[in-house]
Chains A and B, each alone.
Chain A
Amino acid sequence: GAVVSQHPSRVICKSGTSVKIECRSLDFQATTMFWYRQFPKKSLMLMATSNEGSKATYEQGVEKDKFLINHASLTLSTLTVTSAHPEDSSFYICSAWTVGPRSTGELFFGEGSRLTVL
């Protein structure tokens, strides 16, 4: 199956700094990627839809200036948590789905990035 790579898997940073998380589709082109946030023992909350070559679409309540998303190529989307604070500590997961005739409609997920803001 398709592979999505996410990096870093864990990051600890000081309050006020910015953190960038990368999401790569390794063996397929992803015009659309999704960023989710997950709190402990909770479900995934969709934050935004990342579109290659255009602006991301944010879900209601998600701050665009806080969570910057860039989808510069067909295989890479980045999420930057700007001026991070302890309440931003969470598990962030990216995903992508294949498109075209062979698309199965399933999402392929990265392994997630655990952010801890001190």
Chain B
Amino acid sequence: SQQGEEDPQALSIQEGENATMNCSYKTSINNLQWYRQNSGRGLVHLILIRSNEREKHSGRLRVTLDTSKKSSSLLITASRAADTASYFCATDGRYGNKLVFGAGTILRVKS
């Protein structure tokens, strides 16, 4: 079953703007990860945040985690057309033995 729920389902912005995607989950986690998928391709890992971390940065990416609200957000700053893709959060669940993916956000960055 899918644990994570993401919003928005689709997001369209202009190049240079920031994009924020949110993810909520239901059970306890060890870590939460964000992945990117270009259309018809496999997934690429973006960033992992552990349950004892609140914020993490990687280049233009900023991820926050609020375990009390069971939610996370992914911020992409200064977006580029090449950022157009689907973005998924994934949680490892209570036992950390598999990843369950959220519904995903389809991001379109217009140039």
Q: How far is the CA of A60 from the CA of B103 in the complex (A)?
A: 18
Query: By the criterion CB–CB under 8 Å, are B88 and A43 in contact?
Result: yes
B101 contacts the other chain (Cβ, under 8 Å)? Answer: yes
Q: How many angstroms from the CA of A93 to the CA of B101 in the assembled complex?
A: 13
Q: Say whether A11 faces chain B, with CB atoms less than 8 Å apart.
A: no
Known contacts A44-B88, A45-B2: A109-B98 contact under CB 8 Å: no
Instruction: Tell me, in angstroms, the Cα distance from A91 to B90 when the chains sit together.
Output: 18
Please give the number of chain B residues whose Cβ is less than 8 angstroms from any Cβ of chain A in the complex. 24
- CB neighbours of B1 from chain A (8 A): 60
A-side binding surface: helix, strand, loop or mixed?
Answer: strand
Answer whether residue B33 sits at the interface, using C-beta atoms and an 8 A cutoff.
yes
Q: Which residues of chain A have C-beta atoms less than 8 A from B35's C-beta?
A: 107, 109
A103 shortest CB reach to chain B, Å: 11
Q: Which of B85-108 contact A (CB under 8 A)?
A: 88, 90, 92, 97-104, 106
B48 at the interface (CB under 8 A from A): yes
Chain B hits for A41, CB < 8 A: 106
Instruction: Kindly state the separation between the CA atoms of A16 and B2 in the bound complex, as whole angstroms.
Output: 30
Number of interface residues of A (CB under 8 A): 27
| Chain B 56-111 residues near chain A, CB threshold 8 A | 88, 90, 92, 97-104, 106
Contact assessment for A93 and B43 in the assembled complex, using a CB-CB cutoff below 8 Å: yes
B106 CB contacts on chain A under 8 angstroms: 41
CB contacts (< 8 Å) of A106 on chain B: these are: 33, 45, 48
Most interface-central of A1, A95, A105, A112 (chain B CB within 10 A): A105
Q: Are A112 and B88 in contact (CB under 8 A)?
A: no
Q: A43-B102, A49-B97 are in contact. Are A109 and B43 (CB under 8 A)?
A: yes
A46 pairs with B40, CB closer than 8 A = no
- The answer for the CA separation of A42 and B86 in the assembled complex, in Å, is 10
Residues on A lying within 8 angstroms of B by beta carbon are: 1, 4, 6, 32, 34, 36, 41-46, 49, 60, 91, 93, 95, 104-112, 114
